[in-house]
């Protein structure tokens, strides 16, 4: 039976109470208490905290980290919100808007044009659980985001020094931050037209640095010595940048790098593409397929889990950019497909290549990746959106509460 939508609380000044060094607290409406974490289910909350429309995080954080370290940690806990701002400023005075949304609403809001499906479907699903469960943080990522920047100790071994020396000799140092199925192969194709060879240099399959007897610095030296045109350009997920910290390149020299942050506007389509790639082993359009699609595994829950994976990786990436005050060039998969020449001009200007010669698109057409769009992807997206709307309506509508400096919950 449908319940009434949750009401937006009344506006009052002085809503956020100070906790610890950098933490803040606000009581939530009773309607939201069953959507917050508790002792029995410490990671159940599907609520997401935004600062001026950008997600903070990670969520479900321990309160000591929120109060003592800040930088965006938050927790919806037993009817309360404990949080910190992205730069540890006072939310009662910084003029920013803080918003709570349901994670599934966030995914639904990222939609392609004319993709709404209003009729419920009989889309097969593995269970009735509509919340998206959080991921455990990879230990390498935890080392970046769970400690202040001053805790990162530069490695002073001879091999680490040799790594840094080779990086100093590079004409450009570029790091492309991207999740799977966000279009990094398309971006690498464009970068090749600028004479830049963009590879997953830090990927274990490429570098071999995680094999027994292979040191991080030793593997990186071999990579740096093989980079063409003295331009190091690596495309990586946020979980694979730790080697640059381990050799002491980050954070000391992080300001000398050019960062390109690639995302995909249609988050649901990205999740579907990721799920299909996992099943078939075909990670790029011209790659080898190891198996066929298993349709019985293309369930609502499976797609929702991939959405959560992508969303959580975005949270960590935004947190990384915020902590180290990085202003990246932001591109989207959709822009790469619709306006490749414009994207190419933006990239060239951003990394200050000057009047370099750009290879025409037509001359490299055979290597251009195919667009990740099939009839199966379209059908799965429509059914997922319809099922998500049905579940949200059953829970009483979307959750959206504005938390500004003059808001207090009754």
Q: Is residue 3 part of a domain?
A: no
Higher pLDDT, 383 or 323: 383
Both 90 and 171 in one domain: the answer is no
Instruction: Tell me if 403 sits within 8 A of 51, measured CB to CB.
Output: no
- What total of structural domains would you count in the chain? 2
Q: What are phi and psi of 262, to 5 degrees?
A: -105, 125
Q: Each residue of 228-243: pLDDT tens digit? A: 889 999 999 987 888 8
Both 116 and 239 in one domain: the answer is no
Instruction: Tell me if 199 sits within 8 A of 259, measured CB to CB.
Output: no
Q: Which span out of 186-195, 254-263, 369-378 was modeled with the highest average pLDDT? A: 254-263
Q: Model pTM? A: 0.66
Both 232 and 103 in one domain: the answer is no
Both 117 and 220 in one domain: the answer is no
N residues, the chain: 410
The CA distances from residue 365 to 73, 196, 223, 348, 370, in Å, are 45, 17, 28, 20, 10
Q: Which span out of 76-80, 97-101, 201-205 was modeled with the highest average pLDDT? A: 76-80
Q: Is residue 62 part of a domain?
A: yes
Both 90 and 50 in one domain: the answer is yes
Q: Is residue 9 part of a domain?
A: no
Identify the weakest region by mean pLDDT among 19-23, 173-177, 314-318, 399-403: 399-403
Instruction: Tell me if 300 sits within 8 A of 308, measured CB to CB.
Output: no
**Containing domain of residue 392, as a range?**
17-131+387-403
pLDDT at site 353: 77
Q: What are phi and psi of 356, to 5 degrees?
A: -80, 155
Both 324 and 181 in one domain: the answer is yes
Both 399 and 362 in one domain: the answer is no
Strands (E) across 237-353 are located at 258-263, 329-332
Both 328 and 394 in one domain: the answer is no
Q: Is residue 10 part of a domain?
A: no
Q: Each residue of 89-106: pLDDT tens digit? A: 998 888 888 878 776 544
Measure the CA–CA gap between 193 and 196, rounded to whole angstroms: 7
Measure the CA–CA gap between 377 and 273, rounded to whole angstroms: 7
Residue 60 structure tokens: 């479900």
Both 294 and 148 in one domain: the answer is yes
pLDDT at site 3: 32
Gyration radius of the chain's alpha carbons = 23
> What is the mean predicted confidence (pLDDT) over 140-163?
59
């Amino acid at each position: 039976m449908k319940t009434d939508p949750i009401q937006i609380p009344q506006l009052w000044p002085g809503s956020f109470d100070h906790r610890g060094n950098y933490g803040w607290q606000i009581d939530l409406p009773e309607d939201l208490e069953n959507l917050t974490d508790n002792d029995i289910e410490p990671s159940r909350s599907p609520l997401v905290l935004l600062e001026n429309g950008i997600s903070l995080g990670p969520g479900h954080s321990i309160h000591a980290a929120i109060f003592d370290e800040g930088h965006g940690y938050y927790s919806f806990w037993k009817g309360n919100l404990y949080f910190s701002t992205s730069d540890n400023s006072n939310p009662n005075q910084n003029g920013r808007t803080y918003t709570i949304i349901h994670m599934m609403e966030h995914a639904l809001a990222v939609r392609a044009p004319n993709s709404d499906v209003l009729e419920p479907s009989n889309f097969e699903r593995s269970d009735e659980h509509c919340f998206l469960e959080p991921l455990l943080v990879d230990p390498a990522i935890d080392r970046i985001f769970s400690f202040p920047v001053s805790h990162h100790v530069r490695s002073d071994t001879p091999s680490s020094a040799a790594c840094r020396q080779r990086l100093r000799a590079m004409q450009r140092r570029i790091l492309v931050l991207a999740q799977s199925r966000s279009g990094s192969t398309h971006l690498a194709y464009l970068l090749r037209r600028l004479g830049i060879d963009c590879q997953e240099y830090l990927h274990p399959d490429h570098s071999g640095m995680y094999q027994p007897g292979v040191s991080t610095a030793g593997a990186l030296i071999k990579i740096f010595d093989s980079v063409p045109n003295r331009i190091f350009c690596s495309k990586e997920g946020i979980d694979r940048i730790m080697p640059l910290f381990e050799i002491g390149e980050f954070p000391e020299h992080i300001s000398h790098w050019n960062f390109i942050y690639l995302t995909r506007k249609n988050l649901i389509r990205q999740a579907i593409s990721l799920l299909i790639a996992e099943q078939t082993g075909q990670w790029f359009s011209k790659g080898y397929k190891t198996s066929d699609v298993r349709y019985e595994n293309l369930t609502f829950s499976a797609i929702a889990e991939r959405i959560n994976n992508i969303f959580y990786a975005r949270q960590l990436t935004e947190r990384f950019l915020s902590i180290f005050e990085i202003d990246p060039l932001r591109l989207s998969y959709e822009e790469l497909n619709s306006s490749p020449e414009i994207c190419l001009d933006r990239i060239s200007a951003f990394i200050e290549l000057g009047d370099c010669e750009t290879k025409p698109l037509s001359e490299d057409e055979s290597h251009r990746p195919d667009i990740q769009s099939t009839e199966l992807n379209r059908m799965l997206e429509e059914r997922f959106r319809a099922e998500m709307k049905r579940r949200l309506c059953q829970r009483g509508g979307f959750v959206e509460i504005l938390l500004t400096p003059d808001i207090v919950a009754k």
